[in-house]
């Protein structure tokens, strides 16, 4: 039996998923640093484009701007920590910093999914009720929806951490490359009934609530597409394809993470486990700006004009 009195007050955690890769760690550091710079640049560029051009001050693009801001938030919660750990020889993290990272990553994930659900509702109104869209999706309602996508998930994550942080722990080893709340709960010596019940309830609210909204809206959109005109179908495809691709990418990555937490993955190579655990935190922030930048006609046109103006000015100076 583990000595609970020794481990009841854990001051730091050891991240056991790191292993010695020699000089390759410097190459990996450069690759991840480059990826982080690309993510920051792409998301900031699209946020600036949306904010600076009045033609993009529409509900759909405001929700996109909120999505890109969340990508910056989630990436900042992961990459600086990951880069430091790669170069470090001792892979430990203080308990307060660990819980802070859990808050950042969990709130990023819940806000991401809620934001995608609100975007599906926006597309539902635009396609299924185009004549009433402007009266339904007013500026005030857009602001309320953006605040809800932020506040509601944050409160759920605060509740999770406030219940897990006081737990008495019988160990301090987390088998991940970043801090994970489920891994900490598994180390608990004390009763975890309350946090398990809260986790079930918050999962139903944070995951199944938005999921039901997404399924409902897309069922209605599909119904309109099958019974509507060719123009309606083209509009639905052009506006819904990026959203569906983003939703699918995020859901697949999140499922990988859930499977690793719930099932024994010791038979899977450690490199593959690390890749799967990082997929939803690294690919989504890069995937969204590239996807929407290429697929959304207005954004693509404005970006082309911006870069075109810069190139022409440079040629004139030469």
* 113 token code pair: 């999914």
Residue with tokens 């039996």: 1
Give the tens place of pLDDT for each residue, 126-149.
Answer: 888 888 898 889 999 999 999 999
Tell me the pTM: 0.88
Query: Of the given ranges (17-21, 32-36, 93-97, 160-164), which has the lowest mean pLDDT?
Result: 17-21
Question: Where would I find the beta strands (DSSP E) of the chain?
Answer: 12-15, 92-94, 173-174
d(CA 318, CA 313): 9
Hey, what CATH topology would domain 4-240 get?
Answer: Rhopdopsin 7-helix transmembrane proteins (1.20.1070)
Give the tens place of pLDDT for each residue, 174-212.
Answer: 988 999 998 899 888 888 889 989 988 888 888 888 999
d(CA 281, CA 276): 10
* Residue 235 and residue 127 in contact, taking contact as beta carbons nearer than 8 Å: yes
Task: Report strand pairing: 12-15 vs 173-174.
Answer: parallel
Q: What is the dihedral of CA 114, 249, 242, 77, to 10 degrees?
A: 60
3-state SS, one letter per residue, for 226-280: HHCCHHHHHHHHHHHHHHHHHHHHHHHHHHHHHHHHHCCCCCCCHHHHHHHHHHH
Domain spans of the chain, in order of start: 4-240
């Amino acid at each position: 039996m583990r000595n609970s009195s020794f481990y009841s007050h854990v001051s730091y955690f050891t991240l056991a998923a790191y292993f010695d890769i020699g000089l390759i760690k410097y190459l990996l550091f450069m690759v991840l640093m480059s990826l982080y710079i690309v993510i920051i640049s792409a998301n900031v560029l699209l946020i600036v484009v949306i904010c600076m051009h009045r033609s993009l001050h529409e509900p759909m693009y405001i929700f996109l701007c909120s999505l890109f801001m969340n990508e910056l938030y989630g990436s900042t919660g992961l990459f600086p920590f990951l880069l430091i750990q790669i170069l470090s020889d001792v892979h430990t993290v203080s308990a307060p910093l660990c819980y802070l990272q859990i808050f950042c990553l969990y709130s990023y994930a819940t806000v991401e999914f809620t934001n995608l659900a609100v975007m599906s509702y926006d597309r539902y109104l635009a396609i299924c009720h185009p004549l009433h869209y402007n009266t339904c999706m007013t500026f005030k309602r857009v602001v309320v929806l953006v605040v809800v996508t932020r506040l509601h998930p944050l409160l759920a994550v605060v509740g999770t951490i406030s219940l897990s942080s006081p737990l008495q722990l019988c160990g301090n080893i987390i088998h991940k490359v970043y801090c994970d709340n489920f891994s900490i709960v598994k180390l608990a010596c004390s009763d975890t009934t309350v946090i398990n019940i809260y986790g079930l309830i918050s999962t139903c609210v944070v995951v199944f609530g938005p999921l039901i909204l997404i399924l409902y809206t897309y069922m209605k959109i599909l119904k309109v597409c099958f019974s509507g005109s060719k123009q309606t179908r083209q509009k639905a495809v052009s506006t819904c394809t990026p959203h569906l691709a983003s939703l699918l990418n995020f859901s697949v990555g999140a499922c990988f993470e859930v499977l690793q937490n719930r099932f024994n993955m010791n038979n899977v190579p450690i490199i593959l486990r690390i890749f799967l655990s990082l997929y939803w935190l690294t690919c989504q922030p890069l995937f969204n700006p590239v996807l929407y930048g290429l697929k959304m006609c207005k954004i693509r046109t404005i970006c082309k004009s911006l870069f075109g103006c810069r190139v022409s000015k440079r040629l004139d100076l030469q």
